[in-house]
Structure 1
Amino acid sequence: MKAEEKVFENIEQMLKLTLLACELLQKAVIEGDKSLLDEISRIERDGDDLRRETARVIYKGAFLPYLRSNILRLVEDVDDILNTIDKAGEYYRKIRNFDFLRSSPEIARLLELDVLLCKIISKNFIEFFRDPEKLKEAAIVVRMLEKEADMLKHSVLELITPLKLDFWDGLFTFNFIESIEEISDVVEDTIDTFQVVVLSL
Structure 2
Amino acid sequence: MGTLLEWFRTRREVKIIRRIKEDGKKVYNCVVQFKDALSLFLKKDMKGAKNAIQKVSNIENECDDLKRELLTELTKGELSPQVRNDLAHLISHLDQVANSANAGARRLGVLKPEHIEPIADMLLEMVDKSIEGAEVLRDTIEIEIEGKTEDVDASITRINYLEHEVDQIHYRILQKLNQLDYKEFSPFVALTMYQLIGAIEQISDACEATADFVKIINLQAARQK
**TM beyond 0.5:** yes
Give the counterpart of 2:86 among 63, 67, 70.
Answer: 70
Name the CA shift for 1:163/1:111 in 2 (closer, same or farther; >3 Å).
Answer: farther
| Partner amino acid, structure 2, of 1:175 | Q
2:116 alignment partner, one of 70, 77, 100: 100
Give the SS at the match of 1:26.
helix
- Give the aligned partner of residue 45 of structure 1: 61
Matches within 5 A, 1:1-201: 4-32=13-41, 33-98=49-114, 100-101=116-117, 104-129=120-145, 130-161=147-178, 162-164=180-182, 165-200=185-220
- Residue by residue, what CA displacement relative to the aligned partner does 1:57-110 show, whole Å, maximum 9, x if unpaired? 111234322211111000101111111111111111111244534862211110
Q: Distance in 1 between matches of 2:202 and 2:117?
A: 17
Kept after mapping to 2: 8 A contact 1:14/1:50: yes
CA distance in structure 2 between the aligned counterparts of 1:148 and 1:177, rounded to whole angstroms: 14
Distance 2:102 2:120 in 1: 21
Amino acid at match of 1:125: I
Judging changes above 3 Å, is the alpha-carbon distance between structure 1 residues 101 and 196 closer, same or farther for their aligned structure 2 residues?
Answer: farther
Structure 1, unmatched stretches of 5+, are none
What RMSD in Å do the two structures reach over aligned CA positions? Answer: 1.9
**More moved, 83-92 vs 122-131:** 122-131
Q: Which residues of structure 2 form unaligned runs of 5+?
A: 1-10, 42-48
Q: TM-score, normalised by structure 2?
A: 0.82
Q: Structure 1 residues 200, 166: CA separation in 2 closer, same or farther (over 3 Å shift)?
A: same
Whole-Å Cα distance in 2 between the matches of residues 102 and 36 of structure 1?
A: 22
Instruction: Return the offset for 1:197.
Output: 3.1
| Separation of aligned partners in 2, 1:96 and 1:173 | 10
Taking structure 1 as the reference length, the TM-score comes to 0.91
